[in-house]
Amino acid sequence: SGTAIHVQVPNTGNNHNSTGTKTNVGLGYWPEWRVFAGKQYHKPPLQLLPVITHQPPPRPSGRKKALLIGINYFNTRARLKGCINDVRRMKQWLLRNGFFYSPSTMLVLTDDQSSSMYTPTKQNIIRGMQWLVEGASPGDSLFFHFSGHGSQEVDRTGAESDGLNETICPVDMKRAGMIPDDAIWDILVYSLPDGCRLTALMDCCHSGTGMDLPFTFDEYQSHWKVEVNPSHAKAE
């Protein structure tokens, strides 16, 4: 008797199938990156959703999943030197702290790789964020790391108090454009279920509100403050 807890293990042996992670009843399916098609991004409609409050937190599922992105922007005027190294060091830290490197649990996108499947283009980053949250269930732990350039662009919706969206810059930003905080929030935050925990580390300019979270911490006054036009979500 008792509750069955799913513990994530490397993608070897009979515990997994050929295209993703085996899950227990009630847990979502985690596909491998190489077979994850993703979908064209469309901004979700604005709406109000009911949220159940004062509930005990879900029991940890033991499942951990990570997306790591590092861009040095080689052969450009925007070149950086340490972003890929940041990702390599973060990967090793995660592996020492309960994460596993397998095709369905960890994805690394850097611009020093020969395969276009693992190049941090705008399309791959958006698809990677979709992959990260695909099959997320209460009790899961997700990790997102971006190291590269951040910027800003005009907000045409009127939602931003300063009139600007924060952005991250993919390796093909001159051709494909940047990824705004609205899209990052829509994909990584809005879509998560209650009880799923996402930890995000954004090592770039303008990253303080780079995910459009409803609260920011004022380190000078040592308290949390609510953003103008806050966007709340069900997940942690």
90: nearest Cα among 54, 144, 27, 167: 144
Find the distance separating the first CA and the last CA of the chain, reported in whole Å: 30
What's the whole-number mean pLDDT along residues 86-94?
97
Q: In this structure, what are the phi and psi dihedrals at residue 153, rounded to the nearest 5 degrees? A: -145, 165
Predicted confidence (pLDDT) per residue in 1-38, tens digit: 333 333 333 333 334 444 666 545 568 889 999 999 88
Taking the C-alpha atoms of 204, 209, 211 and 214 in order, what is their torsion angle to the nearest 10 degrees?
Answer: 160
Q: What tokens does 64 get?
A: 């951990």
66: nearest Cα among 11, 107, 97, 26: 107
**Whether 205 is catalytic:** yes
Share of the chain above pLDDT 90, in %: 51
DSSP state of 47: -
Distance (Å, whole) CA 192 – CA 210: 17
Dihedral over Cα of 109, 112, 118, 120: its sign:
positive
Share of the chain above pLDDT 70, in %: 78
Q: In this structure, what are the phi and psi dihedrals at residue 202, rounded to the nearest 5 degrees? A: -115, 105
**What is the residue whose two structure tokens read 């040095």?**
72
Q: What is the pTM of this model?
A: 0.82
DSSP state of 189: I
**What is the residue whose two structure tokens read 């992105």?**
69
Q: What tokens does 220 get?
A: 């000078």
104: nearest Cα among 16, 40, 163: 16
**Which listed residue (6, 83, 149, 204) is catalytic?**
149
Predicted confidence (pLDDT) per residue in 30-60, tens digit: 999 999 988 888 777 766 667 667 778 888 8
